[in-house]
Amino acid sequence: MTTILNGKELSQTLRAEIAQQVAEFIQNTGVTPCLAAILVGDDPASQVYVRNKEKACAAVGMKSQLFRLPAETTEAELLELVARLNADDSVHGILCQLPLPKQISEKVILDAVSPDKDVDAFHPANVGLILQGRPRFLPCTPFGIQEMLKRYEIETAGKHVVVLGRSDIVGKPMAAMMVQRGLGADSTVTVCHSRTKDLAAVTRLADILIVAIGKPKFVTAEMVKDGAVVVDVGINRTDDGLVGDVDFDAVQGKTSAITPVPGGVGPLTITMLLGNTLKAAQDAVEKR
């Protein structure tokens, strides 16, 4: 029987744990963890994401600050704001909502955020620490996936993990995390992408298949071996509603466990951001 990996339920459990840790941290230190979010322009999806992050912070007892900037903001103006937040000891986490307007280099802005406040784990210093197996923070979506595998007691040690997609946000860090030593990792990892030859032959080797390519229902039943665990990161808006990168109805019967869309990986991303913000506050207090 297939296990449905319910990210919504797991997220609620994790947020309750984080809320308790935040309350204890505030009581012990007098410091309230604070996340600063920067939104440039009026992209509708970005506005929804940022609003959800604000609500999530409040629900676990954290502070949040939102900086709304017009679409015509220059790179220099945004860098000035980032520098100000880097220097503000009351701010523990900084996130700049992507995408940014075309006149602003995302790389320049993400590199400007202090690694100590980079709760998205996009800064090259933090990426390097992940590769070395001593992360300051873990990127939120891969972090949520790994936590889901742990909480559902899905064995990863010695298993063949195939990651479909090589983005800096999901695919690459996911592969780097799964190959490390320790619980929820110790895997043999293959990364597939648009240049992979005979893709289906590779994905059929996966004990755990993690898909993050942004193509609706791309992964079919013929691409999945019997008994595999399938984690679908995709969220695609279609005429039929939200669907993942995996053809859920066709694939589900072949799997031992699978994430739905919606309600799978998605809810965990903001939850792990909250955990990273708490860790940033804890680290800041330790350094004082």
Residues carrying an active site annotation:
53, 97, 120
- Taking the C-alpha atoms of residue 120 and residue 127, their distance in angstroms, rounded to an integer, is 10
Tokens of 5: 């990996």
Helix axes 266-287 and 44-59, enclosed angle (nearest 10): 60
- Taking the C-alpha atoms of residue 137 and residue 150, their distance in angstroms, rounded to an integer, is 18
256 neighbors 152 (Cβ within 8 angstroms): no
Q: Where are the beta strands (DSSP E) in 11-116?
A: 34-40, 63-69, 93-96
Helix axes 124-131 and 171-178, enclosed angle (nearest 10): 30
